[in-house]
Amino acid sequence: MTDLTDSLNVIFTEFYYWVTVVFMFLIHVGFATYEVGISRRKNIQHVLIKNVMVIPIVTVTFFFFGWWIYFAFVHGPFINNGMGLDAFADDFYPWSPLMGPHMGDRITGVFWAAFLLFSWTAASIISGAIIERVRTAAFLIMAFVMGSVLWIIDAAWGWSASGWMVQLMGYHDAYASGVIHAIAGGAALAVLVVIGPRIGKFGPNGEIRNIPPHNVWMACIGLVLIYTGFWGFYAACNIPIFDIGADGQPFYSATNIYLMPTTLSAITFNFLMSLSGGMLAGYILSKGKPYWTLSAGLAGIISASAGNDLYHPVQAMIIGGAGAAVAYKLHYYAERRFRIDDAVGAVAVHGYAGFFGVVIAGFMLWGYPAAAPIEGSAAPWFGVTPDGFPAINPIGNLIGAVIMFGVLGFAPFYVLARVLKAAGILRVPRRVELAGLDTNTTDSSYPYFSRTYTGFEDIEKQEGLALLSDDRPST
């Protein structure tokens, strides 16, 4: 780079995405922390290792094929006007020189990493729902299918300016209510249906039993860590500097992923207000239970995320509160009616709230431009703006929500879970589940916080008594 202004723009953008990646790591600290907090003492280390192994599995597979899918599948392929794989993706094969240190490109690595961290999130959402009975090996297969195949297909379709859902349906989902959360929630629900509840969760007469977490406040701190990482998630969904001017008149602004204008200030307002709306609703509904109040805060953000680039902050607050209420009520309805044992409420907080958020955004942002039309695209199905852009609309977003939750989330994961179950590798044996999944492989996670007897105490007492005897004053 020889021009200083261009260099500053490029290097600022490079640093911007790099910072978002660092922030988003906290989401995964949070996931691990809250899953461990929710689990019982006999399962802690299994729950922890299952969760953190998302990181290497999704990372390598996202390098091998996930990133290429994002660029290649924007037209379906063959959904939008017969267009096949997009040639732009040729630079993102894993063997492309740009997929490595290269003096001619400073953005691919950090942009890839930002999307990768979204991929970890999509996989981790499923992880929490099925703790204390799923096998790690089975979960890791699910992790790469979600993190490096399914969610990135939906991102190509509905989270790219060129995506066929955006171009044809006016789909709008700026901060991934559907693209990340609804798809992962739908997938988690499918696995829960197949794997079944933990032993003892439901009584013989259908009564629902509470399985107490081993550490509630740890689970709550995990949720707050997810909030913190979410800042990076939101920032990473923006393009920091882009020329959105028309008729040759440059106008530089931040944009959303569809290259339509927003600002960091806008999403800061709305992130905090939707979080607050969710927490306020959760506090009332759960009668002040910390775990559900904080989960509802997350549901609040997720409910408003689809339109948080454009909402007024009070709109974000109300949508966040309403979405949290929908998530909370549906969680207990599904538990009662269908005996769904979602250990952490992931289907509710991510799946139901995400679905709700996408649908609401279609109404709230009705008529707004979704993205600039691309060359070769068919005419939008549900209306255009006066400038000829595909228009955001309720039908497009409703169909989009169904695609995210059902077509790309629930359906393929139902099949995958059935296959894993048929292969006998989905669930641990019943006796292992009763004894605890840490059986035979690890020691107790809290040897000193229980009646656990480690044998060391005898040595400590004998030697300690001898020391006390030596220290005793001679008087």
Place of tokens 């020391």: 467
Q: How far is the CB of 54 from another protein (least distance, A)?
A: 13
The residue among 379 and 435 lying less far from another protein, judged by its C-beta, is 435
Q: How far is the CB of 411 from another protein (least distance, A)?
A: 23
Give the residues lining the site for another protein (CB under 8 A): 2, 41-42, 57, 60-61, 63-64, 94-97, 99-104, 135-137, 140-141, 425, 428-429, 431-432, 434-436, 438-441, 443-444, 447, 450-455
Distance of alpha carbon 80 from alpha carbon 380, whole angstroms = 10
Q: What is the bridge-based pairing of β-strands 252-255 and 239-243?
A: antiparallel
The residue among 379 and 423 lying less far from another protein, judged by its C-beta, is 423
Contact between 211 and 40 (Cβ < 8 Å): yes
Rg (CA), the chain: 24
Distance of alpha carbon 235 from alpha carbon 253, whole angstroms = 14
Q: How far is the CB of 65 from another protein (least distance, A)?
A: 9
Q: How far is the CB of 351 from another protein (least distance, A)?
A: 27
Measured between alpha carbons, how far is residue 159 from residues 146, 153, 180, 419 in Å? 16, 9, 10, 30
Distance of alpha carbon 408 from alpha carbon 141, whole angstroms = 16
Contact between 311 and 319 (Cβ < 8 Å): yes
Question: Of 227, 226, 257, 231, whose CA–CA distance to 242 is shortest?
Answer: 257
Query: Phi, psi at residue 261, to the nearest 5°?
Result: -70, 140
Distance of alpha carbon 77 from alpha carbon 85, whole angstroms = 6
Helix (H) or strand (E) holding 240: strand 239-243
The residue among 126 and 189 lying less far from another protein, judged by its C-beta, is 126
Q: How far is the CB of 55 from another protein (least distance, A)?
A: 13
Partners of 73 in the β-ladder: none
The residue among 211 and 425 lying less far from another protein, judged by its C-beta, is 425
The residue among 140 and 365 lying less far from another protein, judged by its C-beta, is 140
Q: How far is the CB of 426 from another protein (least distance, A)?
A: 12
The residue among 263 and 450 lying less far from another protein, judged by its C-beta, is 450
- SS3 state at 405: helix
Sign of the Cα torsion 406, 71, 242, 249 reads negative
Contact between 181 and 351 (Cβ < 8 Å): yes
- Give the orientation angle of helix 411-422 with respect to helix 136-145, to 10 degrees: 150
Q: How far is the CB of 60 from another protein (least distance, A)?
A: 5
Q: Give the CB-side neighbour count of residue 306, counting CA atoms within 13 A.
A: 39
The residue among 12 and 446 lying less far from another protein, judged by its C-beta, is 446
Q: How far is the CB of 92 from another protein (least distance, A)?
A: 12
Q: How far is the CB of 175 from another protein (least distance, A)?
A: 31
The residue among 243 and 443 lying less far from another protein, judged by its C-beta, is 443
The residue among 43 and 262 lying less far from another protein, judged by its C-beta, is 43
Q: How far is the CB of 247 from another protein (least distance, A)?
A: 33
Contact between 253 and 239 (Cβ < 8 Å): no
The residue among 26 and 54 lying less far from another protein, judged by its C-beta, is 54
Measured between alpha carbons, how far is residue 265 from residues 185, 270, 348 in Å? 29, 9, 29
Q: How far is the CB of 455 from another protein (least distance, A)?
A: 5
Distance of alpha carbon 47 from alpha carbon 86, whole angstroms = 40
- SS3 state at 369: strand
Contact between 369 and 385 (Cβ < 8 Å): yes
The residue among 57 and 176 lying less far from another protein, judged by its C-beta, is 57
The residue among 140 and 327 lying less far from another protein, judged by its C-beta, is 140
Q: How far is the CB of 205 from another protein (least distance, A)?
A: 21
